[in-house]
Amino acid sequence: MEADILIRECTVLTMVHGEIIGKGAIAVKNGLITYVGEERRAPPLKAEEVIEAQGKVAMPGLVNCHTHAPMSIMRGVAEDQELETWLRESIWPLEAKLTAEDIHNGALLSCLEMIKNGVTCFSDMYFREDVVAAAVEKSGLRAVLAPGIIEGGDPERGERMLEEAVKVVKKYHGHADGRIQTQIGPHAAYTCSPSLLKKVGETASSLNVGVHIHLAESRETVRLVRRMYGEGEVAVLRKTGLLGPNLLAAHGVHLTRREMLTLARYGVKVSYNPVSNMKLASGIPRVKEMLEFGITVGVGTDGPASNNSLDVLETVKAASLLQKIRYMDPKVLPVREALEMATIGGARALGLSHMIGTLEPGKRADIILIDFRRPHLTPMLDVYANVVYSARGSDVNTVIVDGKILMRDRIVKTLDEEEVMRNAQKTAENLLSR
Amino acid sequence: MEADILIRECTVLTMVHGEIIGKGAIAVKNGLITYVGEERRAPPLKAEEVIEAQGKVAMPGLVNCHTHAPMSIMRGVAEDQELETWLRESIWPLEAKLTAEDIHNGALLSCLEMIKNGVTCFSDMYFREDVVAAAVEKSGLRAVLAPGIIEGGDPERGERMLEEAVKVVKKYHGHADGRIQTQIGPHAAYTCSPSLLKKVGETASSLNVGVHIHLAESRETVRLVRRMYGEGEVAVLRKTGLLGPNLLAAHGVHLTRREMLTLARYGVKVSYNPVSNMKLASGIPRVKEMLEFGITVGVGTDGPASNNSLDVLETVKAASLLQKIRYMDPKVLPVREALEMATIGGARALGLSHMIGTLEPGKRADIILIDFRRPHLTPMLDVYANVVYSARGSDVNTVIVDGKILMRDRIVKTLDEEEVMRNAQKTAENLLSR
């Protein structure tokens, strides 16, 4: 049996029913996983590239379900402010000045940061996702790109942005050997009218892509929607026809029990973004209940300017800890469940679980290796606990996406790290001086 | 002017009134800081060792106000359980079997992990602090060691443990060129009787050392104390005479407003341990109010088995985020205040602010360099925000304690990293098999 890549002698978390393989091997051919299992049971394998992975843990690449990648260049702009003040006084005025080049440089920086943190797939919502697509293609990452639409009381603007979104979907859905998928990204129910949302839903259906939206992020936005339409955000979305298994709802912090049950019934997916929810003081989503109701939940970092990091391992830890404190119960969201949320859960939330999210033969080879030979990952008594509670992005040693090695021994192969950082710094300084 | 070490061309956070020095230099002689300021204003300096630190940020070493260092060898034992179950069924039975060698190996592992995370001083409470002292001495760290006392209804045991504690204090207070200080560590009001606590207070006073105790960690312990003594934990401590500026109280999660005011009046110091508080679902301490009342607050990781990490930069971020969500206000505990808590705040909490906690001439040279040439620390627009929200322990490049370089370019000089990890792994496996 021939392989392009053979990973040897590692501990493997396949993320299938909590399976842990002691001395495991993984073979990759033409971008697909062709073998996962104990090394001694593997068929004789000849591989072009052999990765000796003693002391490392192999697992599916991390999935970041909600971010705004280009915002990395605004990391550190106006910290510790009210969301409204932050947006109106700092972020929106800067965003109005963003050029395609700025967006490209910000997206590249985020792609670089995500690779270094073991994120192999991310779901993005922003303007100019065509520009983000170029960065994703170059970086080698997998992504689901949702061109954003903010109508903001201007129906013409809404129409125009939807048209732009459609162009991006048509051009980039399935692009880069299928690594790039698309969705449409109406910002939220309080920034897009019901009639526009209805049209977005119909358009997305006809294009056979999903929809990515912010939902019930803060008390203020929930109140705003109720004031505008006299009913809750979920009810508003239901009437537009948007609720369904292709809808990815970010946040869901302030949902009633009844609204959660509605989301579950329609098969809506949720991105849980614990660090951002804390940093912006949005509140704590009731994820334990969401899971009990059968909602598929992935985790997200949110944009790098409201986190301020794209370290999904940090997010997984925060995800677990924040649920424990929400329910005052240390048993809530235990390590295995938390890690599932960042792998197969995220893959399901993005409609990609047939391709990624676990290590199984036939799936695309999105694999990371975490180096466990570190003081903070010693002793190795509980692999899941060490990954969730003790590991951080910097422990990720190797990143493979679609069968291609993007990082090995922490050296990124697809991007010039120094150049990406230099351009991002220049872009940020230039943007602030405009 | 001669120096042992000269650090050049770095950004310096002195942690004095939020000062940021652009192109800074720091000189160290005989363990003391002799110059901090702009490089161009520095006197001509000849140094034995010059550290070129372009792209790095120098700041005071991080202070970890509450941990149980030897517990690193129990990292990952019995996760996601109720505190009571975890202690009774897993931790206490294992602790009963601990040998001095186990404690030594665990303490060394924690010292190694702390150096790699930029922690230069920690406050420890555990059995056999004499053994921990040896590990601290070898590692080069600074520490305040509090031999623990758990009476647990057995007055003879309490007396015996106090005697042991006194021996450790007498032998190790001021040890290792003053890097080791001591306190006495009665575990808590629910495990030590008022009469023992009174004696601890008197003994500590006569030895001129402080006291380190757990206080109001969980609802259950608060209820327990009330059931045992018919009044609140702070009132019980007050009657024993323990309240005072030399008392370090860990946690303080479930304090009433009135209790906080009492602590403030007596000058009691608090260690805020946000990650442990979340992981064990203890609750969220009202640190914003503590600070308003004038209480000195430092941050702690708590033991590596209930965190599961000794990364104080992670703790600082969690400290800020958890207060924001507690008060539903993103302006609470802003970046500078959070970082002060982990440096000068911690130094004050341990009674060491005359020696450490800021970078100023005349203070002991406990300095760390954080490497900012990383994607997740780019752009550099707000140094404080990048340190608090984006940096992690692995970004610490260089660690100096008492004028001695413990780590440079992430290579630890004082400990054999491989050997420490190997011994810890063996110790853990052996302990679990006993």
Kindly give the confidence (pLDDT) of every residue in chain B, 434 residues in length, as a single tens digit, with 9 standing for 90 and above: 899 999 999 999 999 999 999 999 999 999 999 999 999 999 888 999 999 999 999 999 999 999 999 999 999 998 999 888 888 999 999 999 999 999 999 999 999 999 999 999 999 999 999 999 999 999 999 999 999 999 999 999 999 999 999 999 999 999 999 999 999 999 999 999 999 999 999 999 999 999 999 999 999 999 999 999 999 999 999 999 999 999 999 999 999 999 999 999 999 999 999 999 999 999 999 999 999 999 999 999 999 999 999 999 999 999 999 999 999 999 999 999 999 999 999 999 999 999 999 999 999 999 999 999 999 999 999 999 999 999 999 999 999 999 999 999 999 999 999 999 999 999 999 999 99
Judge: B378–A76 Cβ closer than 8 Å, yes or no. no
Average pLDDT over residues A126-147: 98
Q: Which amino acid is at A154?
A: D
Residues 238 through 277 of chain B touching chain A, CB cutoff 8 Å: 275, 277
Residue A334 has its nearest CB partner, among B80, B379, B421, at: B80
Kindly report the backbone phi and psi dihedral angles of residue A73, in degrees, each rounded to the nearest multiple of 5, phi listed first: -75, -5
* Amino acid B433: pLDDT: 95
* Amino acid B48: pLDDT: 96
Place of tokens 């757990």: B214
Q: How many CA atoms lie within 13 A of B155 on its CB side?
A: 5
Is residue B272 helix, strand or coil? strand
pLDDT digits (tens, 9 = 90+) for A220-238: 999 999 999 999 999 999 9
Domain with CATH 3.20.20.140 in chain B: 62-349
Residues 2 through 61 of chain A touching chain B, CB cutoff 8 Å: none
Judge: B281–A83 Cβ closer than 8 Å, yes or no. no
Average pLDDT over chain A, rounded to an integer: 97
Pick the CATH number of A69-349 from 3.30.70.260, 3.30.1330.40, 3.20.20.140, 3.90.1150.10: 3.20.20.140
Which residue, among B73, B82, B378, B420, would best test binding to A if mutated, counting the most A CBs under 10 Å from its CB?
B378
Per the CB < 8 A criterion, the answer to whether A164 and A127 are in contact is: no
Judge: A389–B332 Cβ closer than 8 Å, yes or no. no
* Pairing outcome for strands B20-29 and B2-13: antiparallel
Residues of A in contact with B429 (CB under 8 A): 379
Judge: B82–A330 Cβ closer than 8 Å, yes or no. yes
Residue of B77, B394, B424, B305 whose CA lies nearest to A371: B394
Task: Note if the bond before B208 is cis, omega within 30 degrees.
Answer: no
Q: CA A376 to CA B417: how far, in whole Å?
A: 11
* Amino acid A82: pLDDT: 85
Which residue, among A77, A80, A314, would best test binding to B if mutated, counting the most B CBs under 10 Å from its CB?
A80
Which residue, among B54, B114, B325, would best test binding to A if mutated, counting the most A CBs under 10 Å from its CB?
B325
Residue A113 has its nearest CB partner, among B322, B375, B381, at: B375
Q: Which fold has domain B62-349?
A: TIM Barrel (3.20.20)
Instruction: Give strand ranges (E) for A252-321.
Output: 269-272, 297-299
Judge: A75–B335 Cβ closer than 8 Å, yes or no. no
Q: CA A89 to CA A83: how far, in whole Å?
A: 10
One-letter-per-residue 3-state SS of A338-360: HHHHCCHHHHHHCCCCCCCCCCC
Which chain A residue has its CA at the smallest distance from B83's CA? A330
* Amino acid A1: pLDDT: 80
Residue A263: pLDDT above 90? yes
Per the CB < 8 A criterion, the answer to whether B290 and B297 are in contact is: yes
Domain with CATH 3.20.20.140 in chain A: 69-349
* Amino acid B87: pLDDT: 87
Q: A71 pLDDT band (50/70/90 cuts)?
A: very high
Per the CB < 8 A criterion, the answer to whether A60 and A52 are in contact is: no
Q: A219 pLDDT band (50/70/90 cuts)?
A: very high
* Amino acid A168: pLDDT: 98
* Amino acid A171: pLDDT: 98
* Amino acid B100: pLDDT: 98
Domain with CATH 2.30.40.10 in chain A: 2-60+365-412
Q: CA A218 to CA A201: how far, in whole Å?
A: 24
Which chain A residue has its CA at the smallest distance from B425's CA? A379
Which chain B residue has its CA at the smallest distance from A328's CA? B281
Residues of A in contact with B76 (CB under 8 A): 379-382, 385-386, 390
Residue B330 has its nearest CB partner, among A82, A374, A375, at: A82
Q: CA A111 to CA A310: how far, in whole Å?
A: 9
Maximal CA-CA distance, chain B: 66
Does ipTM come in above 0.90?
yes
Residue A375 has its nearest CB partner, among B83, B116, B382, at: B116
pLDDT digits (tens, 9 = 90+) for A264-282: 999 999 999 999 999 999 9
Per the CB < 8 A criterion, the answer to whether B277 and B322 are in contact is: yes
CB of B330 within 8 Å of any CB in chain A? yes
Q: CA A399 to CA A413: how far, in whole Å?
A: 10
CB of B415 within 8 Å of any CB in chain A? no
Residues 165 through 224 of chain A touching chain B, CB cutoff 8 Å: 219
Residue of B179, B183, B208, B184 whose CA lies nearest to B197: B184
Place of tokens 């235990």: A334
* The model scores a pTM over 0.80: yes
Write out the two tokens for B389. Answer: 């929200």
Q: Does domain B2-60+365-412 have CATH number 2.30.40.10?
A: yes
Residue A87: pLDDT above 90? no
CB of B390 within 8 Å of any CB in chain A? yes
Q: Which amino acid is at B6?
A: L
Q: CA B102, B105, B109: angle at the middle one, nearest 5?
A: 140
Which chain A residue has its CA at the smallest distance from B112's CA? A375
Residue A84: pLDDT above 90? no
Q: Which amino acid is at A412?
A: V
Is residue B383 helix, strand or coil? helix
